[in-house]
Chain A
């Protein structure tokens, strides 16, 4: 995209019917580090790449719990993402308080999209520079949505956003038809494999990614480093032979998942020598 005379204000249309400021906001999403979401009929997994500013700093938090049954992964301006997560938490808790019932995720994303749309139609505002992958449950099961800075939202079986997300999307496109009936463990494995795709050659370590799960009967929680590493170990050993590992992986993860207490993002890093003290 090149600079042009119609891109100064969000309230200026171009002659070809485009709002350039909104499109530039969507570029900001593409610059952020990757976030991936996938869902089966009963579970949603959100995963992201932990990118830190420098070796000295910790990585930014990109996945947020909105409620027991809703989580969100962001890519782009994380500050905007935090603000929107706070809004989502507020909506969810207000609904919960009034109706003693979880807010259906489909309704939350509409509220979010309407909020984003407002910023595309006010001269004194700018669009939110963050893309949100919202995963959650409602009466009809598990859902995954992508909310754009433009105020659009789409439902997906699986999606990836952020830098080098195309590689992850290609991987997901090959496999998505089976996700609906996937087991929880297979879904987690696919999410981590998709994250690996975005690393483009860099060795996948549990410290480089954050994975969260939610599902029917399973409140939103982060997987701890140990659990993630175990999944990685099942395929990093023999990258080609994934089919053979699937059986082992299923067992190993089931044990690990059962043993792992719902931990805060990055908990349990004490035993891992590679993790810098600041990396949570």
Chain B
């Protein structure tokens, strides 16, 4: 029989060897998540890529998952930490179901639980290297929130992580409305994802859109967006400044 005995290197902050026990840098990362509230619930979009530094190494990673009956969790950042979070939540939902008493965890409860987990890890200098997006619907009320790896947490009508913060949110600020239909919501998200595809080098053209309503969760099959590369400006990109960078 083989056992692995956990190595205890002592104080994770003062001991150099103990750095192997805490997260210092992310390794396999997911890029942006973009999510919006719409008429019937919440829509969340992500691509299926996992980058290993500058290499687009994994192309079939689902970065949006259903949590319980009422929530959807999307993550960018370290994929292994996302998987760890899914395990925590799995246990949480399991215990909630075992009560079997008619009460169930809603998206607000899950969001706050995650905020506590992320913040407490940050305090120990051993963060879960993710920015999480939590969306859901319970009793007719839509909920959408975000938690970062340092425990910053808030709710909004539309959120985005990573590059999405810079590229998608301005679009959402201009074009989001409370009464978006499903089709319009998807079009809006695709618009954001297309910009990210053009401009974020860790984005890949294989995305999933997940929807959550009072009825439940649906995650679409992966699909790709049409892109257009024949813009005149790209034909001769240095036309405006010959010989310069």
Contact = CB atoms under 8 A, between A and B. Distances in A.
Interface residues of A, number: 11
Given A98-B116, A99-B112, A100-B112, A107 B106 contact: no
A182 B66 CA distance: 41
B161 to A, nearest CB: 21
B45 to A, nearest CB: 26
A198 to B, nearest CB: 32
A252 interface: no
A112 B146 CA distance: 34
B112 A101 contact: yes
Nearest to A95: B109
A140 interface: yes
B102 interface: yes
B25 interface: no
Interface residues of B, number: 13
B101 A98 contact: no
Contacts of A91: none
B103 A107 contact: yes
B229 interface: no
B112 A104 contact: no
A140 B99 CA distance: 14
Contacts of B106: 101
B113 A140 contact: no
A19 B112 CA distance: 44
Of A99, A104, A107, the most chain B CB neighbours within 10 A belong to A99
A139 interface: yes
A144 B193 CA distance: 52
Interface string A98-115: 111100101100000000
Contacts of B102: 106, 138-140
Nearest to B112: A100
A139 B109 CA distance: 14
B103 A98 contact: no
B65 to A, nearest CB: 20
A98 B99 contact: no
A137 to B, nearest CB: 11
A138 B108 contact: no
A138 B99 CA distance: 13
Contacts of A99: 105, 108-109, 112-113
A142 to B, nearest CB: 13
Contact of A100 (B101, B103, B104, B109): B109
A216 to B, nearest CB: 13
A131 to B, nearest CB: 22
A113 to B, nearest CB: 14
Nearest to A101: B109
B108 A139 contact: no
Contacts of B99: 106-107
Contacts of B116: 97-98
Nearest to A99: B109
Interface in B88-116: 99, 101-106, 108-109, 111-113, 116
B202 to A, nearest CB: 33
A138 B101 CA distance: 10
Interface string B100-141: 011111101101110010000000000000000000000000
A101 B104 CA distance: 11
B112 A139 contact: no
Interface string A125-152: 0000000000000111000000000000
Nearest to B116: A98
A101 B116 CA distance: 14
B88 to A, nearest CB: 12
A28 to B, nearest CB: 30
A97 B102 CA distance: 21
Contacts of A140: 102-103
A134 to B, nearest CB: 15
23 contacts: A97-B116, A98-B112, A98-B113, A99-B109, A99-B112, A100-B108, A100-B109, A100-B112, A101-B106, A101-B108, A101-B109, A101-B112, A104-B101, A104-B103, A106-B102, A107-B99, A107-B101, A107-B103, A139-B102, A139-B103, A139-B104, A140-B102, A140-B103
Given A99-B105, A99-B112, A139-B102, 12 more contacts: A97-B116, A98-B112, A98-B116, A99-B113, A100-B108, A100-B111, A101-B106, A106-B102, A106-B103, A107-B103, A139-B104, A140-B102
Interface of A: 97-101, 104, 106-107, 138-140
Query: A-B pairs with the 6 shortest C-beta distances?
Result: A99-B109, A100-B112, A104-B103, A101-B109, A139-B103, A140-B102
Interface of B: 99, 101-106, 108-109, 111-113, 116
